[in-house]
Chain A
Amino acid sequence: MARKASTALRDPAWLRALLLAVALGFVALSLVLPLVAVFAYAVEKGFDVYLASITDEDARAAIRLTLLVTAIAVPANTVFGVAAAWLITRFSFRGKNLLVSLIDLPFAVSPVIAGLIYVLLFGAQGWLGPWLAAHDVKIIFAVPGIVLATTFVTFPFVARELIPLMQAQGSEQEQAALTLGAGGWSMFWRVVLPKIGWGLAYGVILCNARAIGEFGAVSVVSGHIRGVTNTMPLHVEILYNEYQRTAAFAVASLLALMALATLMLKQLAGWRMRRTQPESGAA
């Protein structure tokens, strides 16, 4: 009467049905429904209203600002992420574990606190406030503050994606390139970058999504000046609070499209990363 091992490892049919129903019901209610709702609410008053909402002057200013902020924060964190990952995975030095913990620190900080620390540093009442005012430099309630707050909250993404990957890959190929007479930079462009490519893309994609969507930290330092310091998420908030629900969801739908594109690219990058580095999964 002994059952085969393979059937013993299968959950009974009723349990499978129950777990599947609970899981799919939960996913439908908490993930699919909100996603559908964003687009349904965005077009509830017709396509013309939708188009007008996303091409409105304030909306376009918000889109431009979000793209500008992202275009500064993401490359800066990418360069840092590659440098930090190289440092941490290729050299041994004192305080390395501390450095790794410090890189992860922004993830433990509430977005609101990320905004607060820059207000305490650069705000009118802040440590550097009087000096900045005397030199006519505006950081808080201006674009530089938004860039800084966004950079803070997206700080760890690239580094923390690259560190485990480069650790697993080891440095044999780099050693070989150097032995064959390659210079440092040529080794970086020709050996290191192709090797970490998809892992790097994975980190950049996540960093980019968070930079575009960041709300709390940016909200604290922005001052909400229409057309000047409003990013897309802040613009969504203002429209929603002014009872312009359709317009709010129209702009929100652009952000939701960005999120969907992020999920697709992330899936692609993850798949390519596993394919090109079959051994890294085991390490």
Chain B
Amino acid sequence: MRRARRHALPGFGLTLGLSLSYLALVVLIPLAALVLKAATIGPAEFWNAVTAPRARAAYRVTFGCAALAGLVNLVLGPLLAWVLVRYRFPGRKLIDALVDLPFALPTAVAGITLTALYASQGWLGRWIEAAGYRIAYTPAGITVALIFVSLPFLVRSVQPVLEQLESDIEEAAATLGAGRLTTLRRVILPTLWPAILTGFALAFARAVGEYGSVIFIAGNLPLVSEIAPLLIVAKLDAYDYAGATAIAVVLLLASFAALLAINLLQLWTVRRRSAEGT
């Protein structure tokens, strides 16, 4: 009865046709062009393009800086989420809204602003250079930009879990004589891990492909501070479509691997939860 009523809702044919044709036109056919292009490159040429010294250096910079930025946010993101959920202080709502700024601010604006701040004459750069360090136009600058763009992922993935955390487990731990730090470490942190890792993987997938906020501050020196997305653009500018496609395939596989890891992690969490429930 219920099933028959469900099917009485109108619009199945219309929305199915519209959704599938729009998806095919905008996303699937263009992505198929990339796969087809990759298939026409001979295996030897593909391997050479993918493993050239300049390409390998670009992966090192891209994956290294993305992982480093992710690790910084792995600590600071959940910490910020904790403060926003558990503490009450003036301006809390404002800061909560501001966490999404990296999602809303165009990447080129973030890029030129961070560069101006960290360059040798900048508000921060002059102090950093006086101390004998350089951030702008080095891989450290790339990491700074990636910390900015990937921050919201680690706050927003942990925040809802913290909000729904039952306080009775914490109370039990406290009643049993656990100190606050022990409770944090042994009770709260383990429940947060899946959310933290999910946020990390989302942040990593985003940072690996990031372009606009990075290229201004990166210095873009091949072999030193050139990110993989910029190498794709460089190859396109040189009309090396096969080379650009090969690097793009590597980059896409890395993003997909990160997202696949999230799905496996969520599956594992659900299983663990249901095993604990029985």
A contact set with B: CB distance below 8 Å: 2-3, 5, 8-12, 15-16, 19-20, 22-24, 26-27, 30-35, 37-38, 41, 76, 79-80, 83-84, 86-87, 90-93, 99, 102-103, 105-106, 108-113, 116-121, 123, 125-127, 148, 151-152, 155, 171, 174-175, 178, 184, 187-188, 206, 209, 212-216, 219-220, 232-234, 236-237, 240, 245, 248-249, 252, 255-256, 258-260, 262-264, 266-267
| Most chain A Cβ neighbours within 10 Å, of B15, B97, B104 | B104
Q: Which residues of A contact B7 (CB under 8 A)?
A: 91
Contact with B6, one of A23, A171, A213, A219 (Cβ below 8 angstroms)? A171
Q: Which residues of B contact A121 (CB under 8 A)?
A: 29-30, 33
Contact present for A112 and B233 (CB under 8 Å): yes
A108 to B212, CA, bound (A): 16
Q: Which residues of B contact A266 (CB under 8 A)?
A: 97, 100, 104
A102 nearest CB neighbor, chain B only: B23
A105 to B125, CA, bound (A): 38
In the complex, how many angstroms separate the beta carbon of B236 from the nearest chain A beta carbon? 7
Contact present for A3 and B174 (CB under 8 Å): yes
Q: Which of B203-250 contact A (CB under 8 A)?
A: 205, 208-212, 216, 229-230, 232-233, 236, 239, 241, 244-245, 248
A246 to B37, CA, bound (A): 42
Starting from the known contacts A84-B23, A113-B34, 8 additional A-B residue pairs (CB-CB under 8 Å) come to A22-B76, A23-B79, A83-B15, A87-B16, A126-B33, A237-B112, A255-B105, A255-B106
A260 nearest CB neighbor, chain B only: B104
Q: Which residues of B contact A27 (CB under 8 A)?
A: 80, 95, 98-99
B contact set with A: CB distance below 8 Å: 5-12, 14-16, 18-20, 22-23, 26-31, 33-34, 36-37, 76, 79-80, 82-84, 86-87, 89, 95, 97-110, 112-114, 116-117, 123-124, 147-148, 151, 167, 170-171, 174-175, 180-181, 184, 205, 208-212, 216, 229-230, 232-233, 236, 239, 241, 244-245, 248, 251-252, 255-256, 259
User: What are 7 pairs between A and B in contact, CB < 8 Å?
Assistant: A5-B171, A8-B174, A23-B84, A90-B9, A155-B27, A175-B9, A215-B211
Q: Which residues of A contact B76 (CB under 8 A)?
A: 22-23, 26
Q: Which residues of A contact B171 (CB under 8 A)?
A: 5, 8-9
- What are the nearest 9 A-B pairs in CB distance? A110-B209, A213-B106, A8-B174, A215-B212, A216-B211, A184-B10, A259-B104, A87-B15, A117-B30
Contact present for B11 and A213 (CB under 8 Å): no
| Most chain A Cβ neighbours within 10 Å, of B79, B105, B180 | B105
Q: Which residues of A contact B22 (CB under 8 A)?
A: 76, 80, 83
Q: Which residues of B contact A37 (CB under 8 A)?
A: 113, 116-117, 123
Contact present for B209 and A109 (CB under 8 Å): yes
Q: SS class of chain B's interface: helix, strand, loop or mixed?
A: helix
Q: Which residues of B contact A263 (CB under 8 A)?
A: 97-98, 100-101, 104
Contact present for A34 and B245 (CB under 8 Å): no
**Contact (A102, B34) CB under 8 Å given A41-B116, A240-B216:** no
- How many A-B contacts at CB < 8 Å in the complex? 279
Q: Which residues of A contact B14 (CB under 8 A)?
A: 83
Contact present for B98 and A106 (CB under 8 Å): no
Q: Which residues of A contact B239 (CB under 8 A)?
A: 125
A138 to B103, CA, bound (A): 32
A45 to B107, CA, bound (A): 24
**Contact (A213, B109) CB under 8 Å given A8-B175, A267-B97:** yes
Contact present for B87 and A20 (CB under 8 Å): yes
**Contact (A91, B103) CB under 8 Å given A15-B180, A26-B76:** no
B258 nearest CB neighbor, chain A only: A108
Contact present for A105 and B109 (CB under 8 Å): no
Q: Which residues of A contact B11 (CB under 8 A)?
A: 86-87, 90, 184, 188
Contact with A113, one of B23, B180, B252 (Cβ below 8 angstroms)? B252
In the complex, how many angstroms separate the beta carbon of B39 from the nearest chain A beta carbon? 12
Contact present for A155 and B26 (CB under 8 Å): yes
Q: Which residues of B contact A111 (CB under 8 A)?
A: 209, 211-212, 229
Contact present for A233 and B108 (CB under 8 Å): yes
Contact with B148, one of A34, A80, A188 (Cβ below 8 angstroms)? A34
Contact present for A216 and B170 (CB under 8 Å): no
**Contact (A91, B99) CB under 8 Å given A37-B113, A109-B255, A233-B108:** no
In the complex, how many angstroms separate the beta carbon of A13 from the nearest chain B beta carbon? 11
| Most chain A Cβ neighbours within 10 Å, of B14, B30, B208, B241 | B30
Contact present for A102 and B114 (CB under 8 Å): no
